[in-house]
């Protein structure tokens, strides 16, 4: 595989970097980016999305018929990585998961209504898969969708819906057939201001808000069924593969490893330079090595995606290794920093202003979003290695 960027691609990368430097703002960009810096909650962040749209950078790989440019997916990759390095929100859910699924499976009415809004950066989505008894096992979702005249009546509960408190639309999976686990799920699109939604906040260990959503007698027209009834599980699996790639860039991990290396060059412990400690040098070497492995696994995902396939196994391998590398880097940083490393951001004396204390907490969230590490291992074992269930 040749991953050297062409002159045109390098020029685009430079253009994106210049744009992000010109638009640098603490209201939009996190100085210490974490892996899941996806949310477009505030007006300044939404304004950045619209600026990206005005530059023609959203949905670049989409078909021209839907407003795209039919460019190679490498351009989407370049944009996503640049945004992640700057701690900026990314267009992964709308452009990647929702948009590409609608392009593949949505009705003409749905394409006409949602795709123009997505590519103009005008709309945000919340993703509703997880439930109290269907977290990592999303196929076990029990939120009931009962067929009624002209549509469906939904009742039940969702959890871990991170964007529910600010999104415009809910991309929601529901049980439409109780006789089949995987073949009885249907996807719906529902406006978040719909009467019948109750949203309650859940604050994570990583300082990120997610939500519980209670759904009581919510009517959804047949026009807002995504694709075919009872085919939702297939669409969800494809969308999760896109999420693990499009919403898990390696840029934030690169920034963490770079910050750790910079700190180790000048830091002192017990009066001695950290860089001269053999254990510290080994920890830094491991972090740099695992970062490079993460890059290579990511490139396997890109290669498979550029060939037109859905990189299921490659995405799971990349997400599993990259997220757990983030945990190992945070663990190593706190070990090297000693007791001071436990100081929180903005506390006096916190190394790197508490960056790795926060990262230590946040990386727990990373290993769950988009499918927990245990799920990724099952996908690799069963689909990649051909092992039987419960081997």
Region at 64 (left for phi over 0; alpha for psi -120 to 50; beta for the rest): alpha
Q: What is the dihedral of CA 302, 104, 373, 370, to 10 degrees?
A: 100
Question: Out of 167-181, 236-250, 285-299, which region has the weakest mean confidence (pLDDT)?
Answer: 236-250
Per-residue pLDDT for 223 more than 90? yes
Q: What is the mean pLDDT of the chain?
A: 89
pLDDT of residue 122: 92
Residues 6+ apart with CB under 8 A from 103: 62, 63, 66, 111, 115
Coil vs helix vs strand at 164: coil
Per-residue pLDDT for 151 more than 60? yes
Where b means 16+ CB within 10 Å and e means fewer, 81-105 reads bbbbbbbbbbbbbbbbbbbbbbbeb
| Cα–Cα distance for residue pair 142/145, rounded to 1 Å | 9
Query: What domains can be seen in the chain, in order of their start residue?
Result: 7-123 (1.10.540.10), 126-230 (2.40.110.10), 250-384 (1.20.140.10)
Residues 6+ apart with CB under 8 A from 346: 353, 354
Residues 6+ apart with CB under 8 A from 374: 136
Region at 349 (left for phi over 0; alpha for psi -120 to 50; beta for the rest): left
CA distances to 9, 143, 163, 186 from 218, rounded to whole Å, are: 46, 11, 19, 15
Q: pLDDT digit string (tens) for 70-97? A: 998 889 889 988 998 888 888 878 898 8
CA distances to 5, 118, 301 from 182, rounded to whole Å, are: 41, 29, 25
| Cα–Cα distance for residue pair 176/306, rounded to 1 Å | 34
Among 28-37, 80-89, 113-122, 377-386, the range of highest mean pLDDT = 113-122
DSSP 134: B
Confidence label for 3 from pLDDT (cuts 50, 70 and 90): low
Residues 6+ apart with CB under 8 A from 262: none
Coil vs helix vs strand at 387: coil
| Cα–Cα distance for residue pair 248/227, rounded to 1 Å | 26
Region at 270 (left for phi over 0; alpha for psi -120 to 50; beta for the rest): left
pTM assigned to the model: 0.86
Q: pLDDT digit string (tens) for 359-387? A: 999 888 888 877 788 888 998 999 899 99
The 10 Å Cβ neighbour count of residue 180 is: 13
Q: What is the dihedral of CA 178, 179, 184, 189, to 10 degrees?
A: -20
Coil vs helix vs strand at 3: coil
């Amino acid at each position: 595989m040749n991953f050297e960027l062409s002159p045109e691609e390098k020029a685009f990368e430079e253009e994106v970097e210049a744009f992000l430097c010109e638009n640098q703002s603490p209201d939009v960009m996190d100085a210490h980016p974490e892996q899941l810096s996806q949310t477009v909650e505030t007006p300044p962040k939404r304004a950045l999305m619209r600026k990206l749209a005005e530059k023609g950078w959203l949905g670049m790989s989409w078909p021209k018929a839907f407003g795209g440019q039919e460019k190679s997916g490498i351009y989407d990759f370049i944009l996503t990585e640049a945004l992640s390095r700057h701690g900026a929100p990314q267009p992964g859910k709308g452009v990647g998961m929702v948009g590409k699924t609608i392009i593949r499976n949505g009705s003409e009415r749905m394409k006409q209504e949602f795709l123009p809004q997505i590519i103009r950066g005008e709309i945000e989505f919340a993703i509703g898969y997880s439930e109290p008894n269907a977290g990592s096992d999303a196929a076990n979702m029990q939120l009931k969708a009962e067929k009624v005249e002209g549509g469906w009546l939904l009742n039940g509960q969702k959890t871990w819906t991170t964007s529910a408190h600010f999104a415009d639309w809910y991309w929601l999976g529901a049980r439409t057939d109780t006789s089949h686990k995987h073949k009885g799920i249907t996807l719906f699109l529902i406006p978040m201001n719909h009467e019948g939604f109750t949203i309650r906040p859940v604050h994570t260990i990583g300082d990120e808000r997610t939500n519980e959503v209670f759904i009581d007698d919510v009517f959804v027209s047949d026009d807002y069924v995504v694709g075919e009834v009872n085919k939702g599980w297939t669409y969800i699996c494809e969308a999760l593969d896109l999420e693990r790639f499009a919403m898990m860039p390696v840029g934030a991990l690169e920034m963490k490893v770079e910050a750790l290396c910079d700190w180790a060059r000048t830091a002192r412990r017990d009066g001695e330079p950290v860089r001269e400690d053999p254990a510290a040098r080994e920890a830094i070497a491991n972090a740099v090595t695992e970062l490079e492995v993460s890059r290579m696994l990511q490139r396997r995902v890109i290669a498979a995606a550029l060939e037109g396939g859905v990189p299921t196994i490659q995405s799971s391998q990349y997400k599993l290794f990259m997220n757990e590398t983030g945990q190992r880097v945070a663990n190593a940083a706190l070990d090297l920093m000693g007791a001071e490393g436990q100081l929180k951001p903005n506390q006096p004396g916190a190394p790197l202003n508490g960056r790795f204390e926060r990262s230590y907490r946040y990386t727990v969230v990373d290993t769950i979003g988009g499918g927990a590490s245990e799920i990724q291992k099952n996908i690799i074992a069963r689909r990649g290695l051909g092992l039987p269930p419960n081997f």
